[in-house]
Structures are given as C-alpha cells and as structure tokens.
Structure 1
Amino acid sequence: MKAAIITIGDEILIGQIVDTNSAWMAGKLTDAGFEVEEVQSIGDNAKQIKDTIDDISQRVDVILMTGGLGPTKDDITKKTLCEYFGTSLIFDNSVLSNIENVISNFTNLNELTRNQAYVPKDCTVIQNEVGTAPITWFDYEDKVLVSMPGVPHEMRYVMENEIIPRLKNKYDPKEYLKRIFIVKGYTESALAMYIADWEDNLPEGFGLAYLPSLGLMKLRLFVRGEEHLATLEKETKKLYGLLGEAILADRDITPEKILGERLFEKGLTLATAESCTGGNIAHMITSIPGSSNYFKGTIVSYANEVKTNILHVSQNSLDRFGAVSEAVAMEMAKGVQEVLNVDCSIATTGIAGPDGGSETKPVGTVWICTTYKNKQIAKEYHFGKYREANIMRASNAGILQLISMLE
C-alpha cells in the first residue's frame, strides 16, 4: 500500500519552524508496512491544498495531512476539505465534550476554541484526546485521507493510538522487516566497495541503504513480508562475517547510547574535558535517560588558564607544544579523571574553525585522548573546514575511541 504525507503551513515554507512531523510519520508508516511515495510541504492556500490532493491521489492509497486545524483565521484546512469533498461543516457535541475535557484544567472555553467542534459532515471524526482540534478521516474512491493537527505531540499520539491501527486493519499491509547496523571505520564509498559482492547477491526483494553520519556509517537491510524473516537472518550473519568487530551494533542506536550501555554494564564512571567541542560530548551523553548512573560531569576548558588552573595542564606543555597537541590532550584527560574521580575520561583539544588554523595545524586538527583507568590513548584527527561538522566529528570520534578502549 502506498502513502503520501502533506504538511501544511506557511511557517514551514518560510523557515519559521522545522517540519519534524513528516520524518516521524514516514518512519511509522514504513514500520507499519506502507510504502511512503512522497512528502510535500505546502502553504495555507486553499487552491494549493486541493490541487495537491488531486495530484497525489493519482499515485497513492493513503494521504496523511497535518496542519491548519487551529482556531484562527489562517487555519483553513477543515474548510478547504469541505469544499474538496463537497460537504459542509456541522456542530458535533461529542467533539465539544472532548474539547471541554482537554482544556478543563488550563483555561476557559472561548468562542474560537468552541468553533473547533465544527467538523465536515461526511467524514469519520476521531477525537483528539490531547488537543482541541479533532481528527477527520475521509474514505473516497477506495482511498483514505486523514487530516491531523500539526502540533507534534498531538499528531504522534493520534498516529500511534488511532491512525496506524485503523490503516493496518483496513489494508493489512505486508510487514516491513529491517536490520540496522552501526558500522565504524569506513567511509561510505569504502564500505560499499568492501561489501559489494554480498550486496550484489542479495535475494530478490531485499534492499540495502547507506546512511552516513559524521564519523559513522549506518546500514539498513530491508525486505517486505514476514515470509523472508529466515533469509533476513541468514544475510545478517553473512554481513557479520564480512565486517566483524566493525559492526558496533545491530540496532538503531547512537554512539552515546552504546557508550552508556558499556559503562553501565561494567560499573564505570565517566567525565569529559572539552575544549574545541565546548561541552557537546557531555550534552550528547546526558541526553540519554539514566546517564546519571555513570556520567559525573564535564570541565569545558576553552581557555588555557582553565586547562592549567583546574585540569592541572602544565604551562610547559602549553608553551612547548601548544594547546592543540598530544601532550595537552593527555594531561587534560588525566586531569579531569583525577579532579572528578572517575574511571574513564574523554578530552578534546583542537581548531574547530573557521579561523585559527596554521600551516602545521590547519582548521580541523583535533587531538583526542581517552582514559580507561591507568591506560591512555591519544590520537590526532584531521576533519575539515566547517566548524559545526568538526565539533560533531570530534564528539563522535571521542565517544568511539573510548568504546574501542572498553572493548
């Protein structure tokens, strides 16, 4: 079954907000067995909404729309859908009761909010248990169109609890089977060349997708239909035979989550000493629930006096080798390990850019030292010219370097 997603709102087109809805919805639809043919973002324009539905309806079975269902004048989706399907708005007391229940603890019911109880006459109304805008489901020409609020938490709630179950019951799509592999030590092209023979000989119906990120590769092996489960496991074993320890994980997981699991399993604690990454590694690690079990803190030693006064980096090392050096990275890692009394540490010092580089130490030069009890590993990396990418690459590299030590 083929599906399409339409996100509606001028605020998306002018860059005022980022459309996170479509990516999330596409993932859920795919996991449910639907093939997402396309995603479109359009403005709050009645003609454009109707023209887009007309166009997409020729290619898909299901259209999911978000946005334009609020109480203000620029929210025109509900009225436009009435025009498109040749129906009118009627007042629905069950929707009003739901609205009153949702807002009872927050505010009084005003006229604009009350008007959200008007719904298209010829549709199936699905109550919004976490918001005031109802969801409308239209069956037409053996197809389905669903209009949902653009507020992310409202859309996600109704998708998981109402829309996906109803769609699966109506269409009974083939199950989408996948395996995700997190691979280290390869660029996209190098990995593709290395596993080319295996990829070329995948059974019919199987596909492989490469998803590169900064410092890591993610592979997705997929097929539709549960009858292929045994073959999927067989191909997974073949890939492990090729890549071995280069596969960090066989599930969709971030490096910081992998590191957290390793630390927790071993009963170890961690701290970071960050210069060029500016606390980004600590942010990544603490984004994981439960990280307080193993992460003690960070010292962002951006200035040299912080390196010397708090981390006890020697002035001689700074004068002789410079802040971006193996010696300083090692002293930073050892210093934060002692100051915060931890088993492991990650230290970064480098030139993130866009300025500050030299002929011997160009922008993108980063020294990373990781410490595991009495052992230290320091490595020099050369990333690139772009500041944000360098910070992210250095952060991932530091985390991966410590994971390798722990293994």
Structure 2
Amino acid sequence: MKVNLLLTGNELMAGDTIDSNSVMMAEQLAPLGWRIHKKVTVGDDRALLRAEIDQLCDDADVLIINGGLGPTVDDLTAQVLAECSGQPLQEHPAAIAHLEDWCQRRGFAMNASNRKQAMLPAHCDIIANARGSAVGIMLQHRSCLVLATPGVPSELRQMLTDEILPLLRQRFDSDHIRTLRLGVFGLGESGIQEQFNRELADWPADIELGFRASMPVLEVKLTARGQDACKQIATWRQPVEALLGDHLLGELPLNLPALLVKELQRAKRRLCTAESCTGGLIAAQITSVAGASAVFPGGVVSYSNAMKQSLLGVDQGILERCGAVSEEVAVAMARGALRISGADMALAVTGIAGPDGGSDDKPVGTVWLAWGDAEQLRSLCLHLPFDRQGFQQWVAALGIDLLRRQLLGVDTLPGVVQRYRRS
C-alpha cells in the first residue's frame, strides 16, 4: 500500500506551528509495514489544495489529509474535496448529530461557525472523532481512498487508533515487520557504519540498517519485513550488540539519566554533584527520573570561585595557582561534595561554556570532569567545540555516562572522548 500525506494550514507554512502530526502518522503506520511515500504541505489556498489532492491521489492508494476541517473561513478541506470529487456540499446528518452531542456535553448552543463543520461532500462517509467537534471525511477519488482528519494532535492520535488504522487493516494487506531500535552513546554514525562495513561485511540485504542522530543518544535501527522478520532480527541482534560493545545503552526508548539512576539503585550507592559550567543541569536531569531521591541526596552549583570555596571547601591557593578550570579544582570540588553530602560517589565539572572567557591555554569549550568515590577519583579534560547550550548538554551527558560505566565496571571511556580529549 502506498500512502501520501497532505498537510494544510498557513500556520504550518509560516512556521507558527511545528508539524508533529506527520511524525505521529508515520510512527503508527510503520509497525504495519506501511510507509509514507510522499508528504506535501500547503497553505490555505483552494487552487493549491485541489491541484495537490488530484496529483497525490494519482500516485497513491491512500491519501491522508490533515487539517482544514475547523469552523473558520480558512478551513477549506471539505469544500475542496467536494470540488475535486464533483459533489455538492451539504449538511451531513451524522456530522450534525455529532456536533449537537459535542455542544450539549459542553453546555453551550451550536452556532453557525460550528455548523460549518457539518457541511461535507454529499456522498462521503464520516470518520468518528471522539475528542473534537469536527468529524473526519472518507471518500474515494481517482481510485484512491481519501481520509481527511482534523489538525489537533490529540484528536488525530485517537482517530488513528480507534478508526483509521483498523479501517486500513481491513482494506489493505499488512506486511510483517519487526524493528529493533538500539540506543548508543559515545559513537558517531560514520564510525558505526565503518564498523558494520568492516566487521559485518555479510550483512543481509533484507535487513534495513538506519541511524537517527540526536543528542545525546544515537539510534541504530534494524528493520526486517516478511514472515521471517522476527527470526531475522533475533539472529542479527547479538552480533550488532557485540559490535557496539560498551557504547550500547539498550533498547529504545531510554535515556541516560534513568539508566544512571537504575545502576545506582542496583549498586545501592548514592551520588552527589558539584557543578560549575553546567549550572545544575546534571542535577536537574537526574532528579527528572522518578525514584532519584533514593540515590541522589543533592548537588551544589558553585559558579563563582567564592562559592567553590565557601560551599565545597576548595582551597583559595589552588584556585589562584591553577585556575577554576583545572584538574585540581575539579577533584577538590568532587571531594567537597562527597564530604558535605555523605554520598558514596561524586561528579564534578568545571569549564568554559563561552562564548567568552577563554584563553590560549584554556580555550572556550575546555572542561575538566572528576568522578568516582573517596578512594578513587578519576579526572578528564576535554575540549568541546559547541555553542554554550551544546557544550552544557555534552558535559552533562558525558559525566552521566562516565558514572554509568564505573558502576558497570567498564574501565574504557566512550569513543567520543578520543576526539575531544586534551592532553
């Protein structure tokens, strides 16, 4: 089955609204083995809408139109579908009944603008909308099944689940499909691809390998289709996981802070943080995880030298001799955090987020991290050439991953460290 999408609305074209609906539809169609063949976005223009509907219907089995079913003059989908299919617009009895019920449940009278949403192509069927006032439209045009849906994401999601996907499964064959999504930290797309080329040269042509770069977790996706899809994925999962090694976080969805909290809970250890350049971002990410209070007594944001001294007990002589961004200060911050919190482990970071404040010896992007316990604190200096926000995000992710590795007994550092490490 070939599916096309048509997204409508001036707000999409102007950038006032971000298109999340096409992502939602693609995600819900994918497990059934159906992909979006083509996606087009147009503004509220009758001529453009009609031209695109005709063209997209000529090239698909199903066209899903999203948006333009509201009560205002710029909601044109029903009118244009009537023109394309050569039908008059008329008040649809089921749509009127839906509107009356929707208004009654909210305690107000139906007005003329509401009633516009019941003016549909004369011979169409409706798609029930359990959440909103506008029903969807279903009709056949040029041998293509056309499904028009409201643009409100919550309404679309329920219509997909309750109405549209069951309808498509009835009318079209669904391919067997199995997708494995693995989360990786510390390796880049090109590096992983080279490893595949080198170590898995016999990679089967019927398993699609894909990557999705994001910060901080990179997705490696394996997709197989057909009767043997599950067996194929099971066969190749082990060599892929072995190739990714200690950079593999697990099966998505997941996130680094949650993994760290899980490992702290397993090891029955408590963590404290001492942050300068990240301004509390690491603590915020950890405390976003439910149950973090059991393993995270707290952290200190010591942005100024005075706060490093008064809160963490960093010696003034070290600050004057080595500077705030130094191994000595990072280690002293970690030790101070351990002392005042009573925690078992600490993570301390101090760096230059920019855009100003760097020097020849310590350029913008320089950061020292110290992590471990009272018996052994490790330290590392990196140069992260990102903007301020990117720098802070990378420092937080790297620090969390270093702790995760230590808790797992992994001595090696993430591969990305080699790229950014300063001697």
Q: Tell me the TM-score normalised to structure 1 length.
A: 0.89
- Residues in 1 aligned to 2:294 and 2:65: alpha-carbon distance in whole angstroms: 41
Judge conservation of contact 1:372–1:405 (CA < 8 Å) in 2.
Answer: no
> Match of 2:360?
359
Match of 1:72 in 2: 72
Deviations 1:190-212 (A, max 9, x none): 22222214554222321111223
Letter in 2 for 1:162: E
Matches within 5 A, 1:2-401: 2-102=2-102, 108-111=108-111, 112-214=113-215, 216-289=217-290, 291=292, 294-371=295-372, 375-401=376-402
| TM-aligned CA deviation for residue 88 of structure 1 | 3.1
- Post-superposition CA distance 1:6-48 (Å, at most 9, x none): 2222112222122122222212211221022232222111222
Q: CA deviation at 1:375?
A: 4.4
2: CA distance between counterparts of 1:110 and 1:313?
Answer: 69
Query: Match for 2:32: what amino acid?
Result: A
CA contact (8 A) 2:57 2:142 kept: no
CA distance in structure 2 between the aligned counterparts of 1:26 and 1:179, rounded to whole angstroms: 16
* Alignment check: 8 A CA contact 1:98 1:129 kept: no
Q: Residues 360, 294 of structure 1: CA spacing in aligned structure 2 closer, same or farther, 3 A cutoff?
A: same
The residue type paired with residue 171 of structure 1 is F
1:397 Cα deviation after fit: 1.0
How far 1:246 sits from its partner (Å)? Answer: 2.8
Deviation at 1:298, TM superposition (A): 4.5
SS for the counterpart of 1:207 is: strand
Structure 1 residue 99, shift from structure 2 partner: 3.9
Secondary structure of residue in 2 paired with 1:196: helix
The one-letter code matched in structure 2 to 1:379 is: L
- The answer to whether the 8 Å contact 1:354/1:385 transfers is no
Distance 1:374 1:196 in 2: 42
In the TM superposition, what is the alpha-carbon distance from 1:181 to its structure 2 partner?
2.1
Q: Distance in 1 between matches of 2:162 and 2:338?
A: 47
Q: For residues 114 and 307 of structure 2, what CA distance do their matches in structure 1 show?
A: 55
User: Which of the two has higher C-alpha Rg?
Assistant: 2
Paired AA for residue 347 in structure 1: A
Go from structure 1 to structure 2 and tell me whether the alpha carbon gap of 1:58 and 1:337 turns closer, same or farther (over 3 Å shift): farther
SS of 1:130's equivalent? coil
Provide the secondary structure at the position in 2 that maps to 1:367: strand
| C-alpha spacing 1:291/1:101, structure 2 compared with 1 (3 Å) | farther
**Residue 110 of structure 1, CA deviation:** 4.4
Percent identity of paired positions between Structure 1 and Structure 2: 32
The one-letter code of the counterpart of 1:20 is: S
Paired amino acid for 2:168: L
The alignment partner of 1:195 has SS state of helix
3-state SS in 2 of match to 1:213: coil
Equivalent-residue separation in structure 2 for 1:189 and 1:11 (angstroms): 36
Structure 2 distance, partners of 1:24, 1:327, is 49
Q: Which amino acid aligns with 1:361?
A: K
Offset, 1:404: 0.6
8 A Cα contact 2:327 2:368, kept in partner: yes
Unaligned runs of 5+ in 1: none
- Cα deviation, residue 327, structure 1: 2.6
In 1, are the aligned partners of 2:347 and 2:372 still within 8 Å (CA)?
yes
Q: 1:235 to 1:314 in 2, by over 3 A?
A: same
Quote the Cα distance in structure 2 between the aligned partners of 1:366 and 1:29.
44
CA distance in 2, matches of 1:273, 1:101: 57
Q: Is the contact between residue 100 and residue 110 of structure 2 (CA under 8 Å) also seen in structure 1? A: no
Partners in 2 of 1:60 and 1:92 — Cα distance? 27
Structure-2-length-normalised TM-score? 0.86
Distance 1:110 1:182, change over 3 A: same
CA drift at 1:220:
0.8
1:216 Cα shift? 4.5
Cα displacement string for residues 99-150 of structure 1 (whole angstroms, at most 9, x for unaligned residues): 4554556562341234323333322212211121212222334422222222
Q: Per-residue deviation at 1:2?
A: 2.1
Aligned 8 A contact 2:67 2:77 in 1: yes
Distance 1:354 1:115, change over 3 A: same
Using the alignment, how far apart are the partners of 1:90 and 1:294 within structure 2? 63
2-structure distance, mates of 1:289, 1:6: 39
1:293 Cα deviation from its structure 2 partner: 5.3
User: How many residues were matched structurally?
Assistant: 407
Pick which of 69-78 and 285-294 moved more.
Answer: 285-294
Partner SS, residue 26 of structure 2 = helix
Instruction: Say if 1:29 and 1:287 are closer, same or farther in 2 by CA, change over 3 A.
Output: farther
Partners of 2:255 and 2:188 in 1: CA distance = 17
Instruction: Report how far residue 176 of structure 1 moved.
Output: 2.4
What CA RMSD, in Å, does the superposition of the two structures yield over aligned residues? Answer: 2.7
* Equivalent-residue separation in structure 1 for 2:378 and 2:267 (angstroms): 19
CA displacement at 1:168 relative to structure 2: 2.0
- Take 1:258 and 1:389, find their aligned partners in 2: how far apart are those partners? 21
CA distance in 2, matches of 1:120, 1:265: 61
Query: 1:167 & 1:273 partners in 2: Cα distance?
Result: 54
Please list every run of 5 or more consecutive structure 2 residues that lacks an aligned counterpart in the other structure: 409-423
